[in-house]
Amino acid sequence: MNIVILGVPGAGKGTQAKMLSERLKIPHISTGDIFRNAIKEGTELGKTAADHIEQGKLVPDDVTFGIVKGRIGEKDCKNGFLLDGFPRTMIQAEMLDSLLGETGRKVDIALNIDVPDAEVIDRISGRLVCPSCGANYHKKSNPPLEGGICRECSARVLQRKDDFYETVVKRIETYHLQTKPLISHYSDKGVIVTVNGTGDITGIHDRIMSEVRGHTR
């Protein structure tokens, strides 16, 4: 099954994608994580990505698509994948449709995690991430261990450089302008599944699982 996850920054895409990927046994591909790794490693991709990410802007479509195309061409994606944070523009969605179409595949489910803007501002300003394993935390609702230690791998968690208030507001604006139109794109194709993304994390996961099961029946 090929799934893409849509949602405003902070909607819980990463959190839910990790759980869903384990449940469905398909790889979780986060373009944000790929860019952050490239930045950490200081590669050319990392330099290009950092210039855009730190200003709250999207990384150019051709660069982003090139990365995704390479990744979903790998063996482990043969039986499906979970794209978290891609596509984010209409052009990316069209490039993905035509790439999958070449091999008779398609996006089976576009999962839209719905959370109001006001709530995501609070979530993102409290977000902490593990630089080592990518686990996600929140200062209040989902804290790491005492002293900011990752529960998965014991590394020290950090605040992301693009999670400061001004950048967050800019990213939400970018979402409304460039990403939100994808909801009707996938709705026209009959693959949109919208889930209420507020409330506790396991409750949301359960709602997603029952929608995914219902959709594949």
> Which run of H or E residues covers position 38?
helix 31-41
Please pick, among 57, 71, 105, 160, the residue that the annotation labels catalytic: 160
Any contact of residue 46 with ligand ADP (CB under 6 A)? no
When CB distances are held under 5 to 8 angstroms depending on the partner's kind, the choice from ligand ADP, Zn ion, none that residue 135 binds is Zn ion
Binding string to Zn ion for residues 68 to 97, with x set by CB under 5 A, is what? ------------------------------
Q: Is 36 a known active-site residue?
A: no
> Which run of H or E residues covers position 121?
helix 117-125
Beta bridge partners of 111: 5, 193
Q: State which of positions 83-122 bind ligand ADP (CB under 6 A).
A: 85-88, 92
> Which run of H or E residues covers position 30?
strand 28-30
Q: Is 151 a known active-site residue?
A: no
Token pair recorded at residue 166: 């001004």
Helix (H, G, I), strand (E, B) or coil at 142: strand
Residue 86 or 186 having the CB closest to ligand ADP: 86
Residue 177 CA to residue 132 CA, distance in Å, equals 32
| Burial environment of residue 152 by CB neighbours within 10 A (0 to 12, 13 to 18, 19 or more) | exposed
DSSP labels, 131-162: TTT--EEETTTB--BTTTB-TTT-PBPB--TT
Q: Cβ distance 63 to 95 under 8 Å?
A: no
Min separation Cβ 103 and ligand ADP, Å: 21
According to CB under 6 A, which one of 29, 39, 59, 109 is a site residue for ligand ADP?
Answer: 59
The region of 12-20, 40-48, 94-102, 209-217 touching ligand ADP under the rule CB under 6 A is 12-20
Q: How many helices (H) does the chain have, and how many strands (E)?
A: 9, 7
Task: End-to-end CA distance of the chain: give it in Å, rounded.
Answer: 12
According to CB under 6 A, which one of 43, 79, 141, 196 is a site residue for ligand ADP?
Answer: 141
Binding string to ligand ADP for residues 15 to 34, with x set by CB under 6 A, is what? x---------------xx--
Residues that bind ligand ADP (CB under 6 A): 7, 9-15, 31-32, 35, 52-53, 58-59, 64, 85-88, 92, 123-124, 126-127, 136-138, 141-142, 162, 171, 201, 204
- Residues tagged active-site: 13, 88, 127, 160, 171
Residues that bind Zn ion (CB under 5 A): 130, 132-133, 135, 150, 152-153, 155
